[in-house]
Amino acid sequence: MKGRSFLLALAATAMVLLTLALGVWSAMARQSPLRIVDQPLALPRAARFMPRDAALTLHWLVDPRQVPAYAQAVAPVRQRRLVNESTRQLRDGAFALAGLDFSSELAGWIGPEVSLAVLQAPSSQVGAPPSDSWVLALSSRDEDGAKRFLQRFWQTRSLAGTDLQISRYRGMGLISGRGALLGRDPQPIATALIDDDLLLLASGRGALEQALDVSQLDSQHQLGDPELVSDLQRFGRGAAILTAKPPAMDRWLGVPSAITSRPDLEGMVAVLSPQSSDLAMDAVVRFRQAVIPLATKGSEADALLRSAGGDADALAVLADPAAVVSTESDGPMAQWIAPVIQQALASADSGAAAAVIGLDDGPLLWQQGSEGWILGTRPNRPESDRVDERLQGLGLSASTLASDGQPLQVWTRLARQRRHGAETLQAELAVALERQSGVSWWGETLDGLRHRAEGGTLNQRLQQLQQLQDGGQIPLEQRLALAASPSRDHLGEWRPWELVQGVAGRSLLPAVQGLAIAGGADQQDQPVQDGRVSSLRLRARLQLG
């Protein structure tokens, strides 16, 4: 009897300890910085004050106070301190652009939702560039935090000599004047407090009144936009929502002018989401006409990927390669990725790769490594006779070469070489063709073709592409994966990256370890009769470490 009482007491004690442990673990998990991205995606209340026709809007849905802690938690141990400081500096610099000191003015009360809208207004002077205005919405964790901030904010600027104007508009109290951080030129700024827990700041009284105006009509603000709400439901989860109209896509996002100048372009919606130490993006770009063809050769592209191997700093899968290298292509996807592929092909001396790609209707696999480029195509695609005609036009001659017991078709050119003071002519390989079951492999070098069947860095590029797939959805037909070096080269020339580095006050390129991008027809859009849709789906993943 005593033994059973002891066992019951022991079991009861274990249950109490287990319950306490679960409670502590649950509380710690709720406060963990790793949970800041684990939430459903929805527009914040501040979207009611963001016009649908705003040039650019950004809704940040996680607590900005926890962002440095999250970055530190997912960073390698040796880099955690540096990552925390860099992220903190980037966050503080972003708020400083609006004349706000995050540490002293915002950290004590700011809530988990921050929204920004850039409103492009026509210039008042003929020939002058358009002037941009902005509206910033900050949520408050409590009812008194935003009030205390407003009192200190305007008191500090009033003591510095700022003339304040206090008025009412649509039942709201507005305060406007000119303010700035110490050492910065004063800029017009206006504020309004909504329901004691939502603070609106704007670049002037006019911009703030426009935000209050659109909040009265569901047809004008983002919170009442059914198409935007539908897009967010399909994305699922994320940490930030970005919308952009064509002018902002050109000016702020660095989208190629061939895309932004299209008269049928409506705009884009993108969701940003941290994935461990990586940053993922999922976006939809909408056009007024059905111009995006649905994927039809997905299985053939997958077969090329399964047969690939070797080393690669860059890997691409192209559904319609001839359109990519054509300067006359009017397809949005080709216009978007063509500059990246063409820049890589321009580095090839012979132009042989461009000749093969320009004759292939796809799918095509392209990889670039230390041993040159390799192209994978379907059997007898493109036709070797057509390729031979194109290559002969480049001054190349065709012949057959035995390599490891397998016949290779090669194209060479005669080149002068000086040895021991005497000039000689020697055949230089420009491209070699190796036919295997199911795939034709075109290579710049014999070593590249020989090592293609071996394991190498290509597996890393394949993993990058795999991370872009969304569950059981059909993979997007145009895919590109880059290693650290080419990723840094392309990001270094990208306008948004330059802006972010300017805010951070330092170069962020050393942290870049890879970049992968995929694009194609939005499978959830309704196709028209010719198998085309009006929405382009884009996914990207930036590897940081």
For residue range 30-51, what is the model confidence (pLDDT) as tens digits?
Answer: 444 445 555 678 899 999 999 9
Q: Are residues 433 and 334 in the same domain?
A: yes
Q: In 442-512, which ranges are continuous DSSP H helix?
A: 446-450, 458-467, 484-492, 495-504
**496 C-beta neighbours (distance < 10 Å), count:** 12
Residue 542 resides in a domain: no
Residue 518 resides in a domain: no
- Reported as a pLDDT band with limits 50, 70 and 90, residue 529 is low
Q: Would you say residue 342 has pLDDT above 80?
A: no
Residue 22 pLDDT = 34
Domain final residue pick, 482, 506, 531: 482
The C-alpha atoms of residue 130 and residue 103 are separated, in whole angstroms, by 33
Q: Are residues 352 and 442 in the same domain?
A: yes
- 466-476 residue pLDDT tens: 888 866 566 78
Q: Name the residue with higher pLDDT: 329 or 516.
A: 516
Residue 259 resides in a domain: no
Please give the tally of structural domains in the chain.
2
Place of tokens 């592409």: 465
Residue 23 pLDDT = 38
The C-alpha atoms of residue 519 and residue 479 are separated, in whole angstroms, by 7
| Least reliable range by pLDDT among 5-19, 233-247, 377-391 | 5-19
The C-alpha atoms of residue 524 and residue 506 are separated, in whole angstroms, by 40
Residue 502 resides in a domain: no
Q: Are residues 331 and 475 in the same domain?
A: yes
- Reported as a pLDDT band with limits 50, 70 and 90, residue 283 is very high
| Least reliable range by pLDDT among 14-28, 425-439, 523-537 | 14-28
Q: Are residues 200 and 106 in the same domain?
A: yes
Backbone dihedral angles phi then psi of residue 10, each to the nearest 5 degrees: -65, -40
Residue 257 resides in a domain: no
- Reported as a pLDDT band with limits 50, 70 and 90, residue 129 is very low
Q: Are residues 298 and 214 in the same domain?
A: no
The C-alpha atoms of residue 287 and residue 285 are separated, in whole angstroms, by 7
Residue 331 pLDDT = 81
Domain final residue pick, 168, 189, 224: 224
- 474-483 residue pLDDT tens: 678 888 999 9
Q: Are residues 210 and 307 in the same domain?
A: no
Q: Are 270 and 281 in contact (CB under 8 A)?
A: yes
Residue 267 pLDDT = 94
Residue 237 resides in a domain: no
Q: Are residues 204 and 305 in the same domain?
A: no
- Reported as a pLDDT band with limits 50, 70 and 90, residue 86 is confident
**236 C-beta neighbours (distance < 10 Å), count:** 13
Residue 481 pLDDT = 92
Q: Are residues 57 and 135 in the same domain?
A: yes
- What token pair was written down for 3? 């033994």
Q: Are residues 334 and 476 in the same domain?
A: yes
Instruction: Please state whether the predicted TM-score (pTM) of the whole model is above 0.75.
Output: yes
Residue 45 pLDDT = 92
Residue 141: which domain range? 43-224
Q: Are residues 298 and 211 in the same domain?
A: no
The gap between the terminal CA atoms of the chain, to the nearest Å, is 61
Q: In 393-457, which ranges are continuous DSSP H helix?
A: 446-450
- What token pair was written down for 230? 């539908």
| Least reliable range by pLDDT among 8-12, 118-122, 234-238 | 8-12
Instruction: Kindly report whether the peptide bond that precedes residue 382 is cis, defined as omega within 30 degrees of 0.
Output: yes
Domain final residue pick, 224, 250, 265: 224
Q: Would you say residue 407 has pLDDT above 90?
A: no
Residue 371 resides in a domain: yes
Q: Are residues 323 and 210 in the same domain?
A: no
Q: Are residues 65 and 205 in the same domain?
A: yes
- 140-179 residue pLDDT tens: 988 788 889 988 888 887 776 677 888 888 888 888 887 6
Q: What is the CA radius of gyration of the chain?
A: 29
3 state SS of 69: helix
Residue 33 resides in a domain: no
Q: Would you say residue 56 has pLDDT above 90?
A: yes
| Least reliable range by pLDDT among 120-134, 167-181, 307-321 | 120-134
Q: If you average pLDDT over each of 123-132, 462-471, 524-533, which comes out highest?
A: 462-471
